[in-house]
Structures are given as C-alpha cells and as structure tokens.
Amino acid sequence: MPFIGNKPADSYLTLEKQTFTTSATDTYVLDREVSSPNDLELFLNNVRQEPVEAYTISGTTLTLASAITASDSMYCIYQGRSVGTTKPADNTITSAMIVDNAITSSKIASGAIANQSAYRNLIINGDMSIDQRNQTTTINGTGVTYNVDRFLGRGVSSAGVFTLVQDTDAPERFTNSLKATVTTADSSIASGSSYRVQHFVEGNNSTNLYWGNSSAQTVTLSFYVKSSVTGTFGGNLANGDFNRFNVFSYTINSANTWERKTISITGDTSGTWLTNNGLGIRINWSLGAGSTLLASAGSWGSSVKEGVTSQTNLIATNSATWQITGVQLEVGTSASDFEFLPYDVNLNRCMRYYQTYQSGGMICWSGTTISGANYFQDVRHVVPMRTSATIGNLTVENRNGFNTSNPSIDYGNTQGFRATLQSNANTNEAYFRFKYTADAEL
C-alpha cells in the first residue's frame, strides 16, 4: 500500500526462521533485534518455550533460563520486525496516495508551495471581464486610449489603425478576451513608430519586486493569446520613467488557436522604479514597431525598445486579429494557474482607476430652490481613487428649477468631488440628475 511521509523499510507479511548451533551455554545471538520475547517463538527440541519464563531478550541477545547442550536442537520464528523508515524518492507521491484532509496548512513549510499567495497577480483585470467603458475603441494616434479596464492601446497618427474591443471568444475557463483588429494596415512602419497594447502597474502594487536594487526579484509573465497571424511576436517591460527596458518574445504557432505563453524576466537592479501611486511598470505587447525600436530579448537596457528583432508585425496585415486574456505577472521563475478573483473584487480594483455613472446610475439633487442661488451635490466615489480624478462627460440629463448649463466641479480628491449648479426658479420640486466619468488612470 502507499505511504505518506516515511515508508516502513520492513513489513510483517512474512515469518522468518533462525536455526541455532547449540552448545553448552545459555546465551545466543539473534539475527535481528526484537523489542520483546513475544516478538518471536522459541522451540527447544521441537517444544515451544514460554517467553520470559524460559528465555529473555535484550536487543539481539537471547538468554535461556538454563544452559543447554550441543545435542539439543533449537530454532526460533520471528513474529515481527523492528520498523525502520526511509525517505520516499522524489516525485513518487501522487495525489491519489493522499487521504482527503490528511495535510493541513500547519504541516506545510512556509514557502514550500510557490506562487500561491492571494493577490499574487500584479495585473488587474487580467481576465478582461471588467469593461466599464463598454465600447469599441479606435487606435489611430499616439495618445492613451483605454478599452477593457486597465488595458489600453497606442498607435501612430496618419498611418496604421486598429480597434480594441471586449470579446466573448476566450480559452477554457475564461469568458472574455481583449481583441485587436487591424482596420488600416501599415506594411512599412517608420523607424520610430510603434503600435501596441499595454497594461500599467501602479507602483504601490510592485513594491515587493525590489526593482532598482540588488535584491530585484525575477518575475514571470503568462497569458493566453490567439491570432490570425503566426510567427514570433515581441513586447517589453519598462519603468514609469520610460528609460529602462527589457524586450521579450513569444511564438504563435497556430493561427486562430488559443495558446498559453510563459516568459520569465530577471528583475532590474538598476534604474528608478516607483513604489507609490505613480506608474511603476509598463507592460507592452507589440503589434508592430519600427526598426530602431527592436532589439534582442532578455536583457535590461536604457534605450527605448518595444519589440524583438525580426518580429511579426500584426499591423502590416489588414483585417488581422490578435486576442489576449489570462494575463498574469507574478514573482518567481514559473507561472502558476491564473488567479481568478470574484467579480465584485475585480470591479472594485478597477474602480480605483476609473468609474462611470451613466444612464441608470446617475447622481441626483432634489429640494427647494430660490432663483439665482447655487446648490451643491457632494459625490462620493464608490471606492477611493488612485489620485484626484478628472471628471469628464458631465452632463445633466434631467432638471427642474435649474439653468441649462452643466454643473461646475470643485473640491475634488481621491474620495469624491462637489458639483454646483445655479437655480433659475423658486420651486419646491427642484432637481437635477447628472452623469459623469471619473478618470484616475496611470
């Protein structure tokens, strides 16, 4: 039968016989050590002897109650063995050998199981499930344009164009992916131009990496990817100051097939890596880059590099598609299974950077007004934001007793802001309802 831990070296399944060469003595040596006289049966001239009364045992020494002669015959049968232990060979214990609930957390040494801590994934919304903006975005310039929460696209003005959208096509266990589609190809990318999908990691979330120090930790980036184009693709990790870069590469082997990629990246011992609420780490998946932005993979440097030498440029093929999900960045040299979080937890983490109140979730002020007076509505964010948010798309949807302008915004901070609107009537049934977005992206 299988054993957990130290396996007994001997068993009790067989009985062994030892025959003694007798002489005029009362002391004999046993072939093996036993614990007590009852661990063997002793026969003298084929007559079974009574333990303790006829003989005693100490270790391997058998002592008779009286001496016998050389003409006597004597043998014993061992009833049991002393139990020894051995260490199981590496990789010999399988899950089928472990009884349910047999191993508790208190019996597992700290650090014995790698990459199993909660929130080990530095990526927020890596499963692409949160999409507060809920739209298709067109990437046709160098500015930052977000799509699904925490993921953005950047491109080139007056050249290639691609779109980003949340898609329901995803690998097993996932429900969503981020899909890029080329709508205008750029088959001759200018030397300093770049098309990419990015994710920014806040410095507060990457303090445990110790990057910029001699104790910099190795990380592993893993993700699922699917593309209509095969070949070697590239990307990079960079710091917030955009002066430290490490290029990585991965290969898409089969067209239109979900594949998981795993890339280990040695921590950077140089440069400045923020550990506050600023931009800590940039992660970039290149969809196309000019020649001066390409380099070999696997080392840190200070020159701007965003893709790998001889990479496949998705942007060069019109209607080409590229999808990604299950993005995880964690400490260590190997990738663990993707860390799924509850939907509400994932949403709240995304709301640190972006919140939206549109139709069905608008803010309302109501009460009695005096014409010409200003009225204030304090708005508290659902969760505190990374920094004082930029309030945008602020529009009054319905009003009574107020002028036709939109509210002014002041007293903004990480917790919320104040909206002010002037009344144009004396009424007991005044109100205004407004929608807005709050943006504190990195």
Question: Residue 3 pLDDT more than 90?
Answer: no
pLDDT tens for each residue of 336-377:
999 999 999 999 999 999 999 986 678 999 999 999 999 999
Are 15 and 82 found together in one domain?
yes
Give a yes or no: residue 297 inside a domain: yes
Question: Residue 225 pLDDT more than 90?
Answer: yes
CATH of the domain at 159: 2.60.120.260
Are 330 and 213 found together in one domain?
yes
Report how far residue 76's alpha carbon sits from residue 56's, in angstroms, rounded to the nearest whole number: 13
The strand pair at 307-308 and 294-295 is best described as parallel
Helix (H, G, I), strand (E, B) or coil at 39: helix
Percent of the chain with pLDDT over 70: 90
Predicted confidence at residue 90, as pLDDT, reads 74
Predicted confidence at residue 11, as pLDDT, reads 45
Predicted confidence at residue 105, as pLDDT, reads 57
Residue with token string 């549109």: 358
Give a yes or no: residue 49 inside a domain: yes
Are 39 and 24 found together in one domain?
yes
Listed range (88-97, 105-114, 139-148, 343-352) with the worst mean pLDDT: 105-114
* Domain limit, last residue, from 106, 121, 145: 106
Give a yes or no: residue 120 inside a domain: no
Predicted confidence at residue 362, as pLDDT, reads 82
Are 359 and 343 found together in one domain?
no
Range of the domain at 378: 354-439
Give a yes or no: residue 44 inside a domain: yes
| Residue 439 CB-density burial (10 A; 0-12 exposed, 13-18 middle, 19+ buried) | middle
* Domain limit, last residue, from 291, 325, 348: 348
Asked if residue 3 lies in contact with residue 52, where contact means CB atoms within 8 angstroms, the answer is no
Are 307 and 161 found together in one domain?
yes
Question: How would DSSP label each residue in 170-188?
Answer: --TT---EEEEEEEE--SS
Q: How many domains does the chain have?
A: 3
Give a yes or no: residue 114 inside a domain: no
Are 150 and 227 found together in one domain?
yes
Give a yes or no: residue 226 inside a domain: yes
* Domain limit, last residue, from 106, 123, 152: 106
- On average, the pLDDT of the chain sits at 92
Predicted confidence at residue 373, as pLDDT, reads 98
pLDDT tens for each residue of 164-215:
999 999 999 999 999 999 999 999 999 999 999 999 999 999 999 999 999 9
* Residue 93 confidence class, pLDDT cut points 50, 70, 90: confident
Predicted confidence at residue 360, as pLDDT, reads 66
**Average pLDDT score over residue span 30-47:** 91
* CA max distance for the chain: 131
Give a yes or no: residue 126 inside a domain: no
Report how far residue 378's alpha carbon sits from residue 148's, in angstroms, rounded to the nearest whole number: 28
Are 72 and 210 found together in one domain?
no
Q: What is the pTM (predicted TM-score) of this model?
A: 0.77
Give a yes or no: residue 119 inside a domain: no
pLDDT tens for each residue of 240-268:
999 999 999 999 999 999 999 999 999 99
Are 202 and 300 found together in one domain?
yes
Are 2 and 149 found together in one domain?
no
Predicted confidence at residue 208, as pLDDT, reads 96
- What are the angstrom distances between the C-alpha of 94 and each of 284, 309, 377? 39, 43, 62
Are 153 and 299 found together in one domain?
yes
Predicted confidence at residue 437, as pLDDT, reads 96
Are 199 and 77 found together in one domain?
no
Predicted confidence at residue 84, as pLDDT, reads 53
Predicted confidence at residue 94, as pLDDT, reads 74
**Average pLDDT score over residue span 120-148:** 96
Listed range (97-111, 145-159, 280-294) with the worst mean pLDDT: 97-111
Dihedral angle over CA of 241, 178, 439, 382, nearest 10: -120
Are 383 and 402 found together in one domain?
yes
